[in-house]
Amino acid sequence: MYNMSMEKLKQLAMTKEELGCTPDFVLISGDAYVDHPSFATALIGRVLESKGYKVGIIAQPDWHSAEAFKVFGKPRLAFLIAPGNIDSMVNHYTSAKRRRSTDAYTEGGKIGRRPDRAAIVYSNRAREAYRGVPVILGGIEASLRRFAHYDYWDDKVRRSVLSDSGADILVYGMGEKQIVEIANRLKDGESVNTITDVRGTCFMTSDITEFEKDSIVIDSYDDVKSDKNKYSRAFMVQYNEQDPIRGKRIIQKQDRQYLVANPPAYPLTQGELDHIYSLPYTRVKHTSYKEEIPALSEVKFSLTSCRGCFGACSFCALTFHQGRIIQTRSHNSLIREAQELTKQKDFKGYIHDVGGPTANYRQTACKNQLEKGACKGKQCIGYEKCKNLRVDHSDYVALLRKLRAVPKVKKVFVRSGIRYDYAMYDRDDTFLRELIEHHVSGQLKVAPEHISNRVLELMNKPDAELFDKFVLKYKQLNKNKGKEQYIVPYFMSSHPGSDLNAAIQLAEYLKKTGMKIEQVQDFYPTPGTLSTCMYYTERNPQTGERVYVAKTQREKDMQRALMQFYMPQYRGLAREALIKAGRDDLIGTGRNALVPPVVKNGDGYRTTASNQRSKAKGNSKNNRNNNKQRRR
């Protein structure tokens, strides 16, 4: 652990003057530079710096020409392309394909500081700036688009982003191990074209003869873009081989060349993970920025305790990026970081989160994963629980207790989300009791996602009955503690498998339980997920069975409206959905009705019955006042 005081820490250089020498690497970032380990630019930059390399950062350059990519001159070893913490298309567009108005990873939240398809644009501009300099592409945008993939915004299958970008190497996954190995080999004089055996990387070649052994050749780009069955088949190979222990190399032809994807990088050891988070981050935005970076406020006083997720929700891309094997930091590492947080001038005594993809996963799903890998074709947890799943919160409970005891820490929250099913499978209630007593700020956010078991099975989420049991248990434990705290559930509309009847089933559940959902997430088909494959092919790639998919924006809007039927602005759409589904019985003023009926008044306007009654009362009052005036 670096023992420098916060005042003496230096940020990575954003100008040639700050760096004072020719950089080994120039890192092009789609995000504003924030020197915090939750931001990929800082993480990769600090790791390379710790190995003795000089790194210059060009954050959000003007991509309209190559000039902005020449700030540091020609890098000695390579350009590194990091498009951002979020895929640039997701960053720019909503699930309805409407342009977003803000960008949380940009100074002042301003939109438009990065291009669409940043991985491709930045790579091409870097190549244009200095011919012959290796270009290494990484980040989640590259990771999830490494194979031929369905692109929701173009509504078609696109080539691997490596093929379109012209980069020399694509790094997938978190990337720390890969980038250090690539850096060392470039420094030793090896050509980038011969660095073809690094785990967690992809490269292009015109001859696969030497790579075919122990590889799986999947259907080509030309095949998968024209045949949805072949697309599903290729996707399932990618999905099943995403394992560092047993996963195989995958080859996919892209036009005249071949994409070769080496097996995933091995998980980081606890010591390696501790080292990465001990590097001298200042944990603030670069000094050149005058306005705030909105994304920083969410994580500035949070601690990352783990990586990976064996939950494997179908709609989540994390399995394809970080994998299913949990990697954890030591208690000492996290306590030291908490102590560093307390030294920051604006620390108010609150640690906002201690977690990761899933906060309460602090161990591998079973004892065999580190030796044999995650089971192929099976899930650890989800709609059903594997009999070999280890359920134990004792390590996480011990960690939270230690963090609560750190001087100057008033409260430690858990906000990154817990798996309520994993908590329910624990026969010991200690974690839930302590979570409720010490780590919830009035509301606990959980993600049941739906209530239809047909949809939940496709999502790989637990059945609806388990969520009901959790709600009852949560309420009872709060009552025992004399607390009044609430559950904020997240539900998703229009996921593959969800038709209007499933959406109505969810609406009836919300009505029955009295839950009012203020935010609804429409299913967003992002690259690299099982659910996106279902959306595109309209089949479950695991079984081949047909899956209903809401494709029109009108139906998506109706499903969303049904989840917020109690809001006046959504009643018309909800009513339309109910009529279309033949569920007129839920339109009315009765106890079980979702929306009031529509009547036609004398003026020809359509209003609800309740509004008609209000208008009638208003007219009666106005008539009485008019009569009074006439009498006067």
In the chain (632 residues long), the average pLDDT of successive 10-residue segments reads: 52 95 98 97 97 98 97 98 97 96 97 97 98 97 98 98 98 97 98 98 97 96 98 97 96 97 97 97 95 95 96 92 95 97 95 95 93 92 95 97 98 93 97 96 93 97 97 96 93 97 97 90 95 98 97 96 95 96 95 86 44 42 42 36
Whole-angstrom CA distances from 587 to 61, 563, 572, 605 are 54, 15, 11, 19
Q: Are 385 and 446 in contact (CB under 8 A)?
A: no
**CB-based contacts of 203, cutoff 8 Å, min separation 6:** 162, 168, 169, 170, 195, 196, 259, 260
Domain boundaries, the chain: 10-206+252-261, 301-439, 442-596, 598-631
Domain 442-596 annotated CATH 3.30.750.200: yes
Does the pTM exceed 0.85? yes
Ordered alpha helix ranges (H), 514-608: 530-537, 553-563, 571-580
What confidence score (pLDDT) does residue 631 get?
36
Dump the DSSP string for 41-55: HHHHHHHHHHTT--E
Q: Kindly report the backbone phi and psi dihedral angles of residue 490, in degrees, each rounded to the nearest multiple of 5, phi listed first.
A: -100, 130
Torsion of CA 194, 199, 200, 201, to 10 degrees: 10
Q: Are 177 and 183 in contact (CB under 8 A)?
A: no
Q: Are 562 and 506 in contact (CB under 8 A)?
A: yes
Ordered alpha helix ranges (H), 20-135: 40-50, 88-92, 118-129
Q: Kindly report the backbone phi and psi dihedral angles of residue 483, in degrees, each rounded to the nearest multiple of 5, phi listed first.
A: -110, 150
Question: Tokens 């909105």 map to which residue?
Answer: 294
The C-alpha atoms of residue 336 and residue 274 are separated, in whole angstroms, by 10
The C-alpha atoms of residue 74 and residue 285 are separated, in whole angstroms, by 26
Q: Are 150 and 533 in contact (CB under 8 A)?
A: yes
Whole-angstrom CA distances from 310 to 131, 329, 382 are 42, 17, 9
The C-alpha atoms of residue 546 and residue 98 are separated, in whole angstroms, by 29
Would you say the CATH fold of 442-596 matches that of 301-439? yes
Question: Tokens 């050149």 map to which residue?
Answer: 288
What confidence score (pLDDT) does residue 8 get?
59
CATH number assigned to the domain covering 301-439: 3.30.750.210
**Assign residue 109 a region: left if phi > 0, alpha if psi is -120 to 50, beta otherwise?**
left
